[in-house]
Amino acid sequence: MFDVNAETFRSFEAFGIAGALYLLVTFSLVWLFRRLEARWLSYLTPLKA
């Protein structure tokens, strides 16, 4: 296994990139599920009179 900290002593950059990727995946999934939820539960919205 490749140890970034032992090889380059740049652990901050490695954790920063990992955190940015985590945020990208998380916000993308949240956006996707909000869109799907709005679509699948649209029949529950009250009708406009």
Q: Cα separations (Å) of 8 from 5, 12, 28, 46?
A: 6, 11, 31, 58
Query: Residues 32, 25: contact at Cβ < 8 Å?
Result: no
Q: What is the CA radius of gyration of the chain?
A: 20
Q: What is the share, in percent, of the chain residues with pLDDT greater than 70?
A: 94
Q: What is the mean pLDDT of the chain?
A: 89
The model's pLDDT over 1-49, given as tens digits with 9 standing for 90+, comes to 677 777 777 888 889 999 999 999 999 999 999 999 999 998 888 888 6
Q: Cα separations (Å) of 7 from 1, 2, 11, 42, 43?
A: 11, 8, 10, 53, 56
